[in-house]
Amino acid sequence: MTDNSKRRHSAPVVDGIGKSASRAMLRAVGFTDEDFCKPQVGIASTWSNLTPCNMHINGLAEEAGRGADEAGGKSLIFNTITVSDGIANGTEGMKYSLVSREVIADSIETTAGCEGFDGLVAIGGCDKNMPGCVMGLARLNRPSVFVYGGTIEPGKNHTDIISVFEAVGAYAKGDMDLIEVKQIEETAIPGPGSCGGMYTANTMASAIEAMGMSLPGSSAQNAVSQTKLDDCRAAGAAVLNLLEKDLKPSDIMTQPAFENAITVVIALGGSTNAVLHLLAMASTVGVELSLEDFTRIGKRVPVLADLRPSGHYMMSELVAIGGIQPLMKMLLDAGLLHGDCLTVTGQTLAENLVDVAPYPDSQNIIHALDEPIKKDSHLRILYGNLAPTGAVAKITGKEGTRFTGRARVFHSEEEAQERIMDGTVVAGDVLVIRYEGPVGGPGMREMLTPTSAIMGKGLGSDVALITDGRFSGGSHGFVVGHITPEAAEGGPIALVEDGDEITIDADSNSIALAVSEPELAERRKRWSPPEPRYRRGVLAKYAKTVSSASLGAVTDLL
């Protein structure tokens, strides 16, 4: 058996007389004598037919394997899990969504670490796949490429999954009948691919490409396309190039690379979940990233993309005009990106962008830098006596920048949803949904169902919603999530009572409860932590190990 620097992990598994049993096992899955001399490339597939986001990924994984084999490696495909936020939202099952990010990272680390893969390709579709995959790759720190499974095509009449959620609210208001809702339900999801707006999946895919962990163009491709198949094959081959150069995730996922990711997320008007996931990914690779970095970068980066949920267009329409590469070239030329960051091509970001053509003059999706949709970030990091260690708001300005109202308090998402639908929630309310944080939920559910109901009932500009849970990338309106410390750990959000005045100010980046400190101290004396909702199983383990949302809600902090 041969040995070289490109086989430093597989050689101990298959080389020498003492590894005859290992080779015997691998012969059964198709290895030949020649294959034992090649670098082994693990292909982490998140395939599942339980969601359109991932139903096509098995074919993409096979294509990536072919690319690795053709470039001189030996590919092995293995699976990790996915769950569907779109299916689980508004149910108890949604508590497993953020948990799945950790399970994905754990399983990629476990499989690759055990089997001795020299390099990896990871392919993700639904929301938590992206950060979960990259966190797994970062933990292993072996030459790796992430591939996005691609975006879905629009449904009939330019609809998508958020159209369905908001149709439910419109029905409750009386603006739609059951037949109209069913028609949207039947046609909004036409086939494979991740949800079509600049929701969390497309946001994180774009962030990872901007960071340099995907090949140029990977984040802006239709799920069912020759372009996506070509991307997968090229990713498999790229791992062999990375092995040759000994270029690893820690060489790519640097502080400046994370700043590039934040910049692109802001320019695209991306999901609040990007804050949570980028903090987690940075923590995993050992980069010091904090909430303050989002504020610092957000002061100089405008929102340029007119994409759903706050805008008009879908990712497939951005794909048609060139994806995010021309946007990145604009940002680089304006001095807003670090061009010297290494990427998985083996070249720098600036080198990758040299020959990128600008967007066509006729397009209306990406605004010019001197005509932004918003002059600074829509992602606002808020502090105050309601969120001493931070909260995350997504405020585009369309809903205003300041809201004062009276608290209407709920101890779960389901309670809030019932009161929205039956008309209890009215203009001027600030909905407080608590005990939905990483520990308290456990699992930090997304509040997509209530925010969609609010929009569907026409209350988007008249009602605010704050929570220690989080939001879907499809949520919009005056919403504040990730409030820390969370209610289950005694954060001030646990002390709010019905009728308390709350002010959210996106100009001063503050969130204030108009209750005196002596009164809050009295309420704290009466407060006691709730009993854990789960005592065994993955949710119980998660609640015991998870960090604050302000630290990325990771489960492996020392």
Catalytic option among 472, 510, 548, 550: 472
Q: Which of 557, 556, 433, 419 is nearest to 493 (CA)?
A: 433
Alpha carbon distance 377, 265 (integer Å):
9
Number of H helices and E strands in the chain, helices first, is 21, 12
Give first-to-last CA distance, the chain, whole Å. Answer: 40
What lies within 8 Å, CB to CB, of 183 at 6+ separation is none
Alpha carbon distance 498, 493 (integer Å):
12
Q: Which of 303, 488, 506 is nearest to 391 (CA)?
A: 506
User: Is 481:494 a contact under the CB 8 Å cutoff?
Assistant: no
Q: Which residues pair with 512 in a beta bridge?
A: 503
Q: Per the structure block, which two tokens stand in for 499?
A: 């009728």
> How far from 501 is each of 280, 313, 464, 544, CA to CA, in Å?
33, 36, 12, 33
Cα–Cα–Cα angle for 286, 292, 293, rounded to 5 degrees = 60
Q: Do strands 429-433 and 464-467 pair parallel, antiparallel, or not at all (unpaired)?
A: parallel
What lies within 8 Å, CB to CB, of 420 at 6+ separation is 169, 172, 431, 450, 453, 454, 457
What lies within 8 Å, CB to CB, of 324 at 6+ separation is 206, 209, 210, 219, 220, 264, 268, 318
What lies within 8 Å, CB to CB, of 89 at 6+ separation is 165, 445, 446, 448, 449, 472
Q: Which amino acid is at 271?
A: S
Q: Which of 88, 52, 47 is nearest to 64 (CA)?
A: 47
Alpha carbon distance 288, 498 (integer Å):
39
236 burial class (0-12, 13-18, 19+ CB within 10 angstroms)? buried
Is residue 472 part of the annotated active site? The answer reads: yes
25 burial class (0-12, 13-18, 19+ CB within 10 angstroms)? exposed
With both helix axes pointing from N to C terminus, report the angle between 255-268 and 291-298 in degrees, rounded to the nearest 10: 60
540: Cα within 13 Å, side-chain hemisphere: 7
User: Is 204:210 a contact under the CB 8 Å cutoff?
Assistant: no
Alpha carbon distance 292, 81 (integer Å):
33
| Positions marked catalytic | 472
